Amino acid sequence: MFNKLIIAASLALLSSAAMAADQPYFYAGGDIGNTDFRYGDKETSYGAFGGYQINQNFALEGAYHRLASDSEFGYDIKLDQIAVSAVATIPLSNGFNVFGRLGYSHLSSKANYSDNESYKSSENKPLYGLGVGFAFTPSIMGRLEVQKVAREITNISAGVGFRF
């Protein structure tokens, strides 16, 4: 039910993009957050994003995130994400907005063990998310977002972006 609601809201936001008239611009930023795994582990995440805001309602965005990194008991494990997505935004009053994201996520994991053994894997997954943004100034924005990276992985992050 939740997935259908997300998809319907994203499509509605995307369809309203053609009505908006705003100057396009590029933006870039970074975020920090928390990755929650279904089996109970939580890891600190960080990343960078950049995009092209086509108008006030629609943007295309790329991102890199280190979703998890852990070194204990003779092993070193990392989980990375590279993502490309369409972002649909509804501007609200006083600089606030809400947005939805729909895209593609490439996840790669790498584990190194103390006895020089290593393991690598990767997979491609759909990506969706919801968030709220705030424009501190015309060129500095903040955002809080929840992304569903995979069925068993959810990331919650806070970020700051710069318009140029």
For the chain, the domains span 2-163
Asked whether the predicted pLDDT for residue 86 surpasses 60, the reply is yes
DSSP bridge partners of 102: 86, 128
The correct CATH number of 2-163 out of 2.40.50.100, 2.60.40.10, 3.60.20.10, 2.40.160.20 is: 2.40.160.20
Residue with tokens 């690598």: 120
- The model's pLDDT over 46-68, given as tens digits with 9 standing for 90+, comes to 999 999 999 999 999 999 999 99
Asked whether the predicted pLDDT for residue 18 surpasses 50, the reply is no
Cβ proximity of 121 and 108 under 8 Å:
yes
Q: What is the pLDDT of residue 124?
A: 95
Upper half-sphere CA count for residue 154 (Cβ side, 13 Å): 9
